[in-house]
Amino acid sequence: MNILLSSAVTLLLAAGVAFAAERPLPLKEAPGRQTTENLCSGCHSLDYIRINAPFMNRQTWTAEVNKMVQAFGAPIAAADANTIVEYLTTNYGPPG
């Protein structure tokens, strides 16, 4: 029984270390970052921004933010939605 308990404790500790080492990358420092972090991170990881960025432009970021508000009920005011879209487009949109 002690071997089983010891193995379980070791497994839990290893999982805890692996989880602790998995830290999200911070968003780019720019106007609108705080609003984006505050309003988006309540529902999902901010890593989605980096994952989706190569495929996104103003139109697709706008559609995505609108989907979060209209389809999923994210409590984001229109002015904040505009701030988020501007931040995402400027910092995670196509270059240029």
**Does residue 18 surpass a pLDDT of 90?**
no
The C-alpha torsion from 49 through 54 and 56 to 57, rounded to 10°, is 120
Q: d(Cα 30, Cα 89) in Å, to the nearest integer?
A: 12
Residue 95, pLDDT score: 82
CB 26 within 8 A of CB 34: no
Q: Using one digit for the tens of pLDDT, what is the confidence trace for 51-81? A: 999 999 999 999 999 999 999 999 999 999 9
